[in-house]
Amino acid sequence: MEQLTRDPRFAELTLLVVDFEALTPAGRPAEPIEVAVLALRPVGGGLVEVGRFEALIRPPADVPVTASDVRQTGITAKLLAHAAPAAEVMARLDAHLTGPPYRIVAHHAATEAGLIAHQAAHCPVLAGTRLLDTIRLAKAVLPGLGSYRLDALLGHYGIPRPVGRHRAMPDVEVTARVLARLLSDGCTAGRWHTLLGLDAVAGRPPKRFAAPPATEQDALF
């Protein structure tokens, strides 16, 4: 990955590896119930964690947590009862984003982009940030793998499936490990050496743009 980290545009980035857990009520957009972010900076030919954020999110009262949801994530209605609503959580997350430039990184980034877009009024900085999709990176680096689901990539790279798989922070942590391997392998294979090359292969524009807030906040990452 050293060639990539020598690119000035990549070197100044903070990569925000993001994952949501969400409810999917019929006939309406998905509702987030948990978010996690791991902030990574390019340092010395690798990626170093510089911050993290995680929170449960209370869904609207008319969106129930089903038995299927609990089986998938282990997150129950009782756990969410005293959580803050999405507007508050996403505003709190966005308040930390005072040191651009950023790229959001997600596995199947279209899903995260949609969830963020529906909360854009509360997280304008995040909602205006370009994305990198680790599925697209994996398809470029590992053609013919057969499956590009996160578990398949964990298996390919010998990364243990985390305890708490399908909770936001464990999924973010292993996605970050997969990202590091993909970036390194892509450099070795000559697939990219610059941020421009990464964007060409795996970049996505934000689903909806909103201007960042005018007031300054203390930076977490």
Domain total for the chain? 1
Tell whether 220 is covered by a domain. no
Q: How far is CA 174 from CA 41, 82, 129, 151, in A?
A: 16, 28, 22, 10
**pLDDT tens readout for residues 30-89:** 999 999 999 999 998 899 999 999 999 999 999 999 999 999 999 999 999 999 999 999
Map tokens 């978010």 to a residue. 35
Tell whether 70 is covered by a domain. yes
Tell whether 94 is covered by a domain. yes
Tell whether 82 is covered by a domain. yes
Local structure of 54: helix, strand or coil: strand
* Containing structural domain, residue 131: 2-204
> How high is the pLDDT of residue 44?
85
Please state whether beta strands 131-133 and 46-56 pair in parallel, antiparallel, or not at all (unpaired).
unpaired
> How high is the pLDDT of residue 217?
44
Tell whether 209 is covered by a domain. no
Say which CATH number the domain at 82 has: 3.30.420.10
**pLDDT tens readout for residues 80-109:** 999 999 999 999 999 999 999 999 999 999
Tell whether 152 is covered by a domain. yes
> How high is the pLDDT of residue 209?
46
Q: What angle in degrees, to the nearest 10, is found between the helix axes of 134-141 and 195-202? A: 100
Tell me, yes or no, if the pTM score tops 0.85: yes
Tell whether 81 is covered by a domain. yes
Q: How big is the CA angle at 1 (ends 5 and 140), to the nearest 5 degrees?
A: 115
Tell whether 188 is covered by a domain. yes
